[in-house]
Amino acid sequence: MSEKSVAIEGIEAVRISGDASLIRLTTQDDQTMQAIMTAKPSGWLSGWFYNDCKAKGDMVVTGQILLIKARNNDWYDLSECSTDLQINLPRNASVTIDQPAFKADLQGQFSGLDIDTRAADIALSGSAQTVKIRGDAFRTRLQFDDTAQTEKIDIAGRALDTSLQFPKGTAVSYRIHAKASMLDSKLPNTPDAKPEILISGDAVRTEIR
């Protein structure tokens, strides 16, 4: 296992691309503002053959933007390396993720979340003023601890499993466009209210609490 790190004090945005990753983002004021990329052996052959598993991706700070490109092992390696990203950001930074597949756990306050993927498992606990997710098949678990009543959540894909949770007493508006849809909502659809939710896809399962 190997890792590389970079200090990110004062950044306002992170953009993550490249190969599939396990991503953990936090906004903890009492912790060091830094990004750590770790490479770990994975795959069923990894315990049989020695492989020099190194963090091959790139992390660069340009102005107030952190750019990350993950790169896993070449296909012909006997064992695989997976990329883990652990990033503690300043509050209200924006997050962009463009990877074919990933698992992300976001805990904290973010200004925006913009995702483009084919398959993903996405969890948010905290807040985000804008959420835009595009992909093929993915699951989202978004728990808003507080709202500013300006939020816009826009999720679209082919097969979606979406859960949205808000503080008690939150008024929301929502529209769901799908060929096949299952909606389980404890909150009434209040016209023009924010958070504003738009979900569209072929097969859509939505839970709103």
Please report which confidence band the pLDDT of residue 57 belongs to, taking 50, 70 and 90 as the band edges: confident
Residues 6+ positions from 50 with CB-CB distance below 8 Å: none
Pick the last residue of a domain from 85, 105, 125.
105
Structural domain of 195 = 117-209
Please report which confidence band the pLDDT of residue 80 belongs to, taking 50, 70 and 90 as the band edges: low
SS3 category, 121: strand
Question: Partners of 94 in the beta sheet?
Answer: 13, 112
Q: Quick one: 75 exposed, middle or buried, by C-beta within 10 A (0-12, 13-18, 19+)?
A: exposed
Together in a domain, 12 and 80: yes
SS3 category, 146: coil
Pick the last residue of a domain from 42, 74, 105.
105
In 3D space, the residue among 14, 6, 16 whose CA is nearest the CA of residue 36 turns out to be 6
Q: How many structural domains does the chain have?
A: 2
Q: For residue range 127-143, list pLDDT tens digits in order.
A: 999 999 999 999 999 99
Together in a domain, 1 and 100: yes
Q: What is the mean pLDDT of the chain?
A: 90
Give the chain's radius of gyration (CA, Å): 18
pLDDT at position 52: 60
Mean pLDDT of 63-85: 78
Query: pTM of whole model > 0.85?
Result: yes
Q: Is the pLDDT higher at 51 or at 72?
A: 72
Q: For residue range 36-45, list pLDDT tens digits in order.
A: 999 877 654 4
Distance CA 189, CA 164 (A): 14
Distance CA 127, CA 145 (A): 6
Together in a domain, 3 and 33: yes
Q: Both tokens of residue 25?
A: 């983002």
Mean pLDDT of 63-80: 75
